[in-house]
Structure 1
Amino acid sequence: MLSHIARRFFEAMIILLGITIVTYMLLYLFPADPVRQIAGRSATPETVNNIRQQLGLDLPVYEQYWRYLTSLVQGDFGRSYIQKTEVAELIWSRLPASLLLMVAAISVEVLLGLIMGVISAVKRNSTTDNALMVVSFVGVSAPQFVVGILLLYVFAVQLGWFPIGGYGTASHLVLPALTLGLLGSGWYARMMRSSMLNVLEQDFIRTARAKGVSKFRVILRHAVPNALLPIIAMIGIDIGIFMSGIVVVESVFGWPGIGQLAWQAIQRVDIPIIMGVTLVAACSIVIGNFLADIIALFVDPRIKLK
């Protein structure tokens, strides 16, 4: 197991290194000149050249990248040209809100998705199965802003059960987490149903039934645990997606997460923030998949033999 973990960790580090290269190339892909953004439109050529030298942008590309990489290792993501603030401070200030929404949303979508998927698999080709799959299809197809606005109108405006937007209390968290959970649960339901159907056809399930094990125990103790591997992989991907920020949902509910920060940076062409958020999102996906691989080792010990 330790060798497998070490190998996966090394692969993750290589991927992260590649991500830093791609992220740094954003500096050259954007049409905006960071020096001009700092100096202003009325700056003289001398001022522009001085700023370019101070930033090291007159150095060869490989030297610029090395300085960028060494700064990242020290936790320095650069400085925002527009907000005049360290990018790391801006990202870390939004991180708690993003983490909270991520945990709540994943909890909702996994719980709903697993229940729907298991029921659909057990009642295969029945009216219940068809109805749940239609619901899951609607969930994965519905636009985020439509679901979010609908929940706001019903539960915040009409019923007054929750605040219209904001951040700070558990009541503020319910509607955005429910919006993401309802949309994401459809994917988990369809994946769980497919995985469960495959497991239910295995020999050990037929053996358990032949021994007189109750249907409930066969499903809960034997089928569900063996059908969880694809779900664990999906959770690892969702960690990265949610950590990159759900721009639409955060905008609808006024949630101060990383997605809102990224959207504001894109509107202002604030390149250091865009690069920082992109790097954090990519790292989150890599870390999420790495954790999913490690957890899968404990869920299915057979993986250790591969």
Structure 2
Amino acid sequence: MAHSTETMDGPSMARQLAARFINLKFIEILMNRLIGMIVMAFSISVLVFLLIRLVPGDPVIEMLGSQAASEELAARLRGQLGLDKSLPEQYWNWITGVMHGDFGYSYGYQRPISDLVALNMPASIQLTASALFISVALGLLIGAWAAVARNRAPDTIGMGIAITFMSIPSFWLGLLFILLFAVQLQWFPVVGGTSLAGLVLPALTLGIGTMGFNARFVRSSLISTMGQNHVMTARAKGLSRPKVFFRHVMRNSMLPVLTVVGLQLGNLLSGTVVVETVFSRPGLGRLLVDAIMAKDYLTVQACVLIIALIYALSNLLVDLMYPILDPRIARR
């Protein structure tokens, strides 16, 4: 009796086993990171909930202004806002609402916080994306220029530029840009808006401030790759310098840089707090500063939690892209 069996050669079976293992590894990484994000979000929510209440001042007094002398009115408003409850009760009411997508009501702006976030988030994303492009592009150019001319004048100049901009605080750099390009040269508006002209100076301030770190990391990554065996072999085969650099050096150096870019995304988003305030630009950072000044507890808690979650999500995406860009990582 003839049996029809489906045979599989060795390479095909190895590919299927490798694909299955990579999928399991991917799921394992995803689950670990998601659990870490949940723990991180809970910790930050508790921390910001407690810290904002240590800020001197009473939000009810801030809201009432000249009417704050009325104890009855203040007590009634405190009860409406839930500020008369114990801290555990206040936190539980807030966090359960957040888990259902409700960040609460801003008593400073007199509107739902979700509406405020939806109104200001696009401007912050626009600024962060523009600054990230400037930071990565200039960092790659200066870092590659310094690595190719290692220990020569371009290397010294490039790293000098990187260290200089790393050392300048973003608020001071922003003020210098306003003085030079907006007041003296009048190329751009003093107050940054959502237009393209109003975006240039804030994006340059935020991007150039982090460009130096990217340039230094790109330089060290490229120099490390240049000394590896496969690069020396490519040179020995007679390949041209540009072909060796772009095909063998640059491609193998970008994976570590990807991690830095993921971290920079979170840093840039948190940096919008200073830059948006300096340029009087709308955004999540400006909303956070105004909420702190107004003792608007729920708005501060929502802004900090959202920024932290975006930071964690950007790092999660980087971790998940690693096995895709370099399958060797998935097999470890």
Secondary structure (helix, strand or coil) at the match of 1:255 reads coil
Q: Distance in 1 between matches of 2:265 and 2:135?
A: 12
2:34 is matched with which residue: 1, 5, 9? Answer: 9
Q: TM-score, normalised by structure 1?
A: 0.88
Q: In the alignment, what sits opposite 1:142?
A: 168
Aligned partner of 2:214: which letter?
Y
Q: Distance in 1 between matches of 2:184 and 2:60?
A: 50
Give, in angstroms, the shift of residue 195 of structure 1. Answer: 1.3
Give, in angstroms, the shift of residue 239 of structure 1. Answer: 2.1
Q: Distance in 2 between matches of 1:50 and 1:264?
A: 25
The range that moved more, 274-283 or 148-157, is 148-157
Q: Distance in 1 between matches of 2:186 and 2:281?
A: 19
CA deviations on 1:25-48 (whole Å, 9 max, x unpaired) are: 235433444455567633436x65
The range that moved more, 101-110 or 113-122, is 113-122
Q: TM-score, normalised by structure 2?
A: 0.82
Q: RMSD of the TM alignment (CA)?
A: 2.4
Q: In the alignment, what sits opposite 2:71?
A: 44
Q: Distance in 2 between matches of 1:125 and 1:35?
A: 61
1:231 is matched with which residue: 246, 257, 261? Answer: 257
Give, in angstroms, the shift of residue 265 of structure 1. Answer: 2.1
Q: In the alignment, what sits opposite 2:6?
A: none
Q: Distance in 1 between matches of 2:303 and 2:309?
A: 10
Q: Does 1:273 align with 2:299?
A: yes
Gaps of 5+ in 1: none
Judging changes above 3 Å, is the alpha-carbon distance between structure 1 residues 117 and 216 closer, same or farther for their aligned structure 2 residues?
Answer: same
Q: Distance in 2 between matches of 1:147 and 1:186?
A: 14
CA deviations on 1:145-203 (whole Å, 9 max, x unpaired) are: 33323333333334333223231321221121122222211110001111111222222
The range that moved more, 295-304 or 34-43, is 34-43
Give, in angstroms, the shift of residue 8 of structure 1. Answer: 1.9
Report if the CA contact (8 A) 2:127-2:203 is conserved: yes
Secondary structure (helix, strand or coil) at the match of 2:282 reads coil
Report if the CA contact (8 A) 2:128-2:272 is conserved: no
Q: Does 1:30 align with 2:55?
A: yes
Report if the CA contact (8 A) 2:206-2:268 is conserved: no
Give the count of matched residue pairs.
305
Q: Does 1:151 align with 2:177?
A: yes
Give, in angstroms, the shift of residue 72 of structure 1. Answer: 0.5
Gaps of 5+ in 2: 1-25
Question: 1:73-88 alignment to 2 at 5 Å?
Answer: 73-88=99-114
Q: Distance in 2 between matches of 1:203 and 1:12?
A: 39
Aligned partner of 1:66: which letter?
W
Give, in angstroms, the shift of residue 104 of structure 1. Answer: 0.4
Q: Distance in 2 between matches of 1:257 and 1:54?
A: 28
Q: What fraction of aligned residue pairs are identical, expressed as a percent?
A: 36
Judging changes above 3 Å, is the alpha-carbon distance between structure 1 residues 37 and 75 closer, same or farther for their aligned structure 2 residues?
Answer: farther
Q: In the alignment, what sits opposite 1:295?
A: 321
Report if the CA contact (8 A) 1:109-1:184 is conserved: yes
Report if the CA contact (8 A) 1:98-1:245 is conserved: no
Question: 1:176-215 alignment to 2 at 5 Å?
Answer: 176-215=202-241
Give, in angstroms, the shift of residue 52 of structure 1. Answer: 5.1
The range that moved more, 171-180 or 229-238, is 229-238
CA deviations on 1:117-155 (whole Å, 9 max, x unpaired) are: 112112110111011000111111123233323333333
Judging changes above 3 Å, is the alpha-carbon distance between structure 1 residues 167 and 131 closer, same or farther for their aligned structure 2 residues?
Answer: same
